[in-house]
Each structure stands twice: as structure tokens, then as C-alpha cells.
Structure 1
Amino acid sequence: MDYIEKDNNFDLPVIAFYECDRLWISKGNIDIESSALKQFSRFDPYLDCFHTGADDKAIGEWLLKLELSELQKKTPSPMKTAIEFAAKAAMENCVGFGFDFDESRVMVRYEDGTSTPFEHLSDGQRTILGLFCDIARRAAILNPHLQENICSETKGVILIDELDLHLHPKWQRRVIEDLRKIFPKMQFICTTHSTFLIQSLRSSSELILMDGEPLLEYNNKGIEEIARNMGVSSPEVSQLYEDMKNTAHDFLATLDNENLSPEEFHERFNAQLASVIAPYSNNPAYQAFLERKYAIKTGKEL
């Protein structure tokens, strides 16, 4: 262990499993004095590699240490550069990601000169930024000798449960390619139910299993076609619309097929008409259409 710790040419792989509860939630302020004295081992990223992304305190303490190192040495830290490189790829208009001594917390800086505390970002922003930066942090701690090539040269295996978690659809469409671009030598094994992620695959050979369905060519297919192959009926319309259409269709079929007198029909199906209309009472056109069809059949205006 000591040999590896001190060997500047020994590469260590990133191994990490990001669970569904990976959304980072701030757990108190960072103590600047204790964080400055904290020592990091190259093996630290393995201590929690199977339960990652629980909070932002660890990365805050590490960034603080890097900021102090830069101030002391008066030279940019390649490890901090790796984090910022990942942050810029994760978020549009992001130009910096680091510890702010005035704020005593991690801040995200933007092109327009503004900055936002990490914990004030939306769930989607914190999820995507936290994921990219945490992978970069682990790579940097494991392989500081790679310098400016930390992200591009570090190898590893990353497991991510529900990669699309909290992500806006436009981020879902690009997250896979962004991970490839920033960490080209890492292998990512992810689960998802997102048609946008499946669509963004380069080839269906990258898709291991899809709810037990046989593998098809999903890349570059339309969202609706992918959803249909995933078992979603009529993905081009909402489930509410589909239910309303089917309910109306069944009731109209009853109107056409029952050979009863108008009085008998009214006595038997008046209550059914009310139950058919009730779930969609906020749609007056639907209600008026069925009531009109019913009136034609029974001669009774409602």
C-alpha cells in the first residue's frame, strides 16, 4: 500500500456505484481550519465507492484544500483544473467550480460573472454537476500524477442507477456523450427508463437488456417508436386522452348495439352515462358530445 501511495507512475482505476439516492444535500458548513489540516490518501475514493454522492461536504473539503495549495504554491492545481473541466462539461455557461472563502462553501461561477452556491441549484443541476465532479474528484485523488490528463487518462468502471434521475430531457439527450467525452477511458454501466437516453446510444449493441425485450436498433429512432417498443401504448398521446377515447368508444358501441326502446335504454344506461362523463368532467366538449349522442338514441335531452 505504501509503495502504491508513493509511486507517482502507478495508475489506479475509479470504481464507483451511484445509487438513486445520490442527490447531494448539504450537511452543514465546512470547517475551514479542520479541512485545511485534513490529509487525503490515494485510496480514499475506495472507502465509499459503493455508496457515492451522499453529500457535498467531501468535495467541498477537498476543493478547499486545493484552493489553499494554489495560494501557497502560487501555481494552478491540475487536480482543481480537472474538477472545473468536468463542471464546465456538465453545465452550460459554467466557467468555474470551487470553494469560496468569503461564502465558506462551494460556488458555481457563470459566464456573466454571477455565482450560485452549489446547494441552491435545482435538483437536476446538482445531480448532473455532482456526478461529473465527483467522478473527476475520485480520478484526481487516485491519479494526481496524471496532471492535466486526469480525466482523459484515468480508467475505471462506473455504475449509475437511473442515469436520467432529476435530469431535464435536454440533459438526458446529451449526458451519455458528455460522459464519453470527459472520461473516455472509463466504462459506464447504467440503468434507465428514459427514451431520450436510449435514443442517444451510438448503437443498440450498447444496450444490454430492456425489460426482457429482444434487442432492437434503438439508436436514432424516434422517441415515440422507442416508447412503443418499451410497452407504452399510443405514446403520441397522453394516458388520459387514451383512456377518455377508449371510454367514449365503448359507450358509443353500446349505444349502437343495444336493441332496446328509447325508454328502456334510458332506464338502463342513464347512470352509466353519468359514470362515463364523471372522470372527464373538465372536458365540456367530451361531455356535450356523449350527451348529444345519448339524446339522439333516447330522445331525452340531459
Structure 2
Amino acid sequence: MRIDRLYVRNFKGFEERTFTFPRSLDAPADGNGSFHVIIGQNGRGKTSALDALAVAVGSWFLGVRGEDSRHIRLDDVRVRVIEFRETQRIEKQLPVVVEATGRVQGKDYTWKREFAGKRTTWVNAKNIKTSAEIAVEKMQRGEEVTLPLISYYGTGRLWLEPKDVRAEAEALKAGHTPQEVPAQETEEDLAESFASRLAGYRFSIDPRCSPRDLLRWLKFEQQIANVERRESIQFRVVKQAIQDAVEGCRRIEYHPRLGLLLDIEGQPRLPFGALSDGQRNVIAMVGDLAFKAAQLNPHLDEKVLLKTPGIVLIDEIDLHLHPRWQRHVMDDLRRLFPEVQFIATTHSPFIVQTAREGELIPLDVQPVAETENLGLEEIARGLMRVERPEVSPRYRQMVDVAKNYLTLLDEAEKAPAEKLRDYVERLAADIAPYADNPAFQAFLELKREATLGARLEAMAEQVQPGRHDGDGER
């Protein structure tokens, strides 16, 4: 499964926009995998583009009973402020259209969702709905059909819990409030939760992803391993994927009482919750993708990560990652999930630098063919519109202050005596904010003294033409 083209109209900040996602140049002709990175200043629509893609790819769930499709919502509707004589009104721009062209279960499709104010239509998405229904029916008959992996990771990953509407309904039936969650799940609870292959679709299109389901799945697999005295292929594959994704990770295990434990070079053995945000972010994302692929396609055995296709959306892929890790996270994901189409956003020049030809989608500048040979300063200046990225903003400010100071000094040197004192006060005010840098202040003050010192002394002498000792004699 992949999306090659996305068209949106009146979706959030987009009046009308078409996105294309060409296949990687080095990908096999029949491959699905690719990586695209959307960049742009805040407010240009990076997350909005991912939300529109979520609507498009979420259409698959129209044909998966029990799973929620991502519909077009009221807050997705583009609005305009309309001036009418002396008043202003906010008007919704309808209809909203999200249309995708891509490949689903080996067939090329175009499908469309629309919203005119009440509900999201699916009549023009029957093809993808039917494709999903056929795939699910085959799965239920025990056929070895490969299901696509679908996931959306928002910026709240790690700490925002998806809302489980069905669990809330069950809690209410049992006489509990929706907030009452059992402290401990039994083996039977976990077995029921992961009994179906379709458990790999739980919360797939909800960007409020957290590692909770991954940790539950690892616990479930460990319980099975303890009973059967051997680990399943899927369990081994997921643990290996996590280990491969974390720098310096030598070993991971799931302890019945302590949970997920990791041995990482340079650190003592630590539980998942005690790791850095960057480490937990990568573990949660890679582990979540790996366990979902293993859950959806157990028939692929040890090749499940290599052969599972799908679409994965990642908002701010650089979130919590050290620049060194940012430089290889894209390649790590490509290597682990070569058949998956990744579409991510970023503000990081390190991520941009690792994008290959045709993989970068800038929202506010012209696309460039290649970024691999560009330096970070060229990327920051040319693609991310950062002025003089080679120096800090404060340094640039100090340079501008120094230039202005020297210009004022030249003017003061030529100014009449009655205006000289005003110039001196302005010069002092210009450098007052830099008391934390006495060398900077001292340099400019020496310049002032060399330029205006004699005139200032003469003015002082005119105001007080002599000095008096203690007895009043001159």
C-alpha cells in the first residue's frame, strides 16, 4: 500500500494543494517503500498535510469492521475572515475534499472523501473499502493475505494516550467510570486483546500514540514464552528490531515484574521508563511498528518486517533526538521496514541533509533535486530561511549594534556642542543591554573616548572652569 498523489481542497490552511510522493530511485520497480520529508516554517501546514494523509490512508478502515476511519472533522475545515461593511465574519469554506491516488493490495486506485458540513462521504472511496473487506475476509478464512501496516505518530507520542472509545463503553456497562482502568491485566485479558491479527490496527490512525500497547504486547509474548519455554518468531523479530534501532543497545528483555529492560553501552541496565526521551521515542516508534507488522502478518515469519508494506506518518521525526541520531534515523527506518512508505515532517537541517533525491517536500520554497551534498548552513539558509545560520542571533545583534554605534559616533564627532550630550546618552543606551559582555562594552567605550574624549573634557571645563581646594584658594 502506498500513496503517490494527494489532492486537498479547503482542508485546514490549504485552499487547494497537490502533493506528489515519487518512488525512491533505488527502490525495486514493484516495491512500495519510500521516504518523504515535509519542511516549512510554522503555520505553513506540515501537520495539516499529515492529517490529510491520515484521512486518505484511514479510508482503508472503512472496510475493517471495528476500526475507526479518520473522517474529515469540523476543525479540518478551512475558514476565512470576511469583511462586510463595518463587521467581520468567520465563514467555513466548503466542501472539503481529500483525494488520493495510489496502490492498494497490488491495484492502482484513486479514491476521495468529501465533507460538506454534516458527515464525511465514502461513496467515492468504495474501491479501497472493498479492497479492505476482501483482505479481511481472506484473513478470516485463514488465507495468508498480507495486510498493510498503517500508523500515525504525532508530536504527543510517548505521553498522550489514545482514547479507547470501546473500552470506555465496556467500562460503563460494567458499572465503572471511563477513567477506571484495571491496575493489572490478567493473562486472559491480554490473550483476548491480541487474539486477532486485526489487533495490529488498534489506534493506528490516532496521532496520540503511546508505548502502552507495545509494552502490553511484549508482556503477552513473554507470558507465552514462559509457558511454552520458547520465544515465538514474532517476539524475537520485534526485540531484535528494537535492539537494532537503539544506539549501543546490546540486549533487551521483558521481565515479568520489572517490564522492558535494556542493556545500552555506557549505561547501567535500565527499565524503559528510566531511559532518555530520545531513546524511549525511538523504542516506542520502532517497537510499535514492529509488533503491529508481526501481529498483522504472522505468516511472513522472520521476514515480516522486510515484507510488510504500509504507510507511516511521523510528525517531527527529530523529536527528542540528538543531532548525531537525527543523521541516521531515516536510514534506520528504511533498513528495518523497506516496504513501508514513510512521510514525515521536520525542522531539523540534519534530517533534511539525509534526504535523498526527490524526497524533500518544501512548503514555502522551491524544491531542490538533492540535499545530500549540501552543508548545514546552505540547508538552513536556502531551504529553511534562517538568516546567517553560521552565527548565533545574539552575535548578529551585537554586530548590528556595533555598526550602529560606530555610525552614531561619526555623527557625534561632527555634531554641534549643544547636541553632543544627546549623542553620548544614545551611545550609552545602545550598549547597556550587553553588561554581561564587558569586553564588547569596553571596546566601544574606548572608541567613544578616542573620538569624543577631548570635546567632552573641553565641555566639562567650560561648565566648571577650575578646581578649588579645601580653604577656598584656587
Report the TM-score, using the length of structure 1 for normalisation. Answer: 0.89
3-state SS, counterpart of residue 174 of structure 1 = helix
Which residue of 322, 326, 331 corresponds with 1:172? Answer: 326
State the alpha-carbon separation in 2 of the partners of residues 264 and 70 from structure 1: 91
Equivalent position of 1:252 in the other structure: 406
Which residue of 357, 367, 375 corresponds with 1:222? Answer: 375
Cα pair distance change 1:68/1:111, threshold 3 Å: farther
Stretch of structure 1 that moved more, 124-133 or 88-97 = 88-97
CA contact (8 A) 1:30 1:57 kept: no
Cα pair distance change 1:121/1:34, threshold 3 Å: farther
Equivalent position of 2:430 in the other structure: 276
CA contact (8 A) 1:66 1:80 kept: yes
State the alpha-carbon separation in 1 of the partners of residues 141 and 325 from structure 2: 39
State the alpha-carbon separation in 2 of the partners of residues 209 and 236 from structure 1: 22
Look up the equivalent residue of 1:67 and give its one-letter code: Q
1:187 aligns with 2:187: no
Deviation, 1:121, is: 0.9
Stretch of structure 1 that moved more, 254-263 or 113-122 = 254-263
Larger Rg: 2
Equivalent position of 2:275 in the other structure: 121
Equivalent position of 2:200 in the other structure: 45
Look up the equivalent residue of 1:4 and give its one-letter code: M
State the alpha-carbon separation in 1 of the partners of residues 307 and 388 from structure 2: 45
Deviation, 1:93, is: 2.2
Which residue of 441, 445, 454 corresponds with 1:291? Answer: 445
- Name the count of aligned residue pairs: 299
State the alpha-carbon separation in 2 of the partners of residues 111 and 39 from structure 1: 35
Stretch of structure 1 that moved more, 241-250 or 268-277 = 268-277
Cα pair distance change 1:285/1:262, threshold 3 Å: farther
CA contact (8 A) 2:243 2:249 kept: yes
Deviation, 1:245, is: 0.6
Equivalences for residues 1-302 of structure 1 within 5 A: 1=136, 3-24=138-159, 31=185, 33=187, 35-40=189-194, 41-52=196-207, 54-103=209-258, 105-110=259-264, 114-203=268-357, 205-229=358-382, 230-258=384-412, 260-261=414-415, 263-299=417-453, 300=456
Q: After superposition, give the CA deviation of every residue in 1:4-30 in whole Å (9 maximum; x if it has no partner).
A: 145351100111111111124799965
Look up the equivalent residue of 2:245 and give its one-letter code: A
Stretch of structure 1 that moved more, 74-83 or 194-203 = 74-83
Q: Judging by fraction of residues, say which structure has more helix.
A: 1
Deviation, 1:52, is: 4.5
Higher relative contact order (CA 8 A, sep 6+): 2
Deviation, 1:57, is: 2.3
Stretch of structure 1 that moved more, 85-94 or 166-175 = 85-94
Deviation, 1:43, is: 1.5
Q: After superposition, give the CA deviation of every residue in 1:126-170 in whole Å (9 maximum; x if it has no partner).
A: 111111111111111111111111111111111101111111000
State the alpha-carbon separation in 2 of the partners of residues 218 and 277 from structure 1: 40
CA contact (8 A) 2:203 2:209 kept: no
Cα pair distance change 1:250/1:114, threshold 3 Å: closer
Cα pair distance change 1:112/1:170, threshold 3 Å: closer
Cα pair distance change 1:50/1:275, threshold 3 Å: farther
CA contact (8 A) 1:90 1:178 kept: yes
Report the TM-score, using the length of structure 2 for normalisation. Answer: 0.59
Q: Judging by fraction of residues, say which structure has more strand.
A: 2
Cα pair distance change 1:66/1:124, threshold 3 Å: same
State the alpha-carbon separation in 2 of the partners of residues 213 and 175 from structure 1: 25
**RMSD, matched Cα:** 2.5
State the alpha-carbon separation in 1 of the partners of residues 183 and 263 from structure 2: 19
CA contact (8 A) 1:83 1:136 kept: yes
Cα pair distance change 1:191/1:30, threshold 3 Å: farther
Deviation, 1:191, is: 0.7
Deviation, 1:115, is: 2.3
3-state SS, counterpart of residue 208 of structure 1 = strand
Look up the equivalent residue of 2:362 and give its one-letter code: L
State the alpha-carbon separation in 1 of the partners of residues 215 and 300 from structure 2: 22
Cα pair distance change 1:244/1:102, threshold 3 Å: same
Cα pair distance change 1:112/1:231, threshold 3 Å: closer
Look up the equivalent residue of 2:306 and give its one-letter code: S
* Structure 1 gap ranges (5+): none
Stretch of structure 1 that moved more, 158-167 or 73-82 = 73-82
Quote the sequence identity (%).
38
* Structure 2 gap ranges (5+): 1-135, 162-180, 458-474
Look up the equivalent residue of 1:140 and give its one-letter code: A
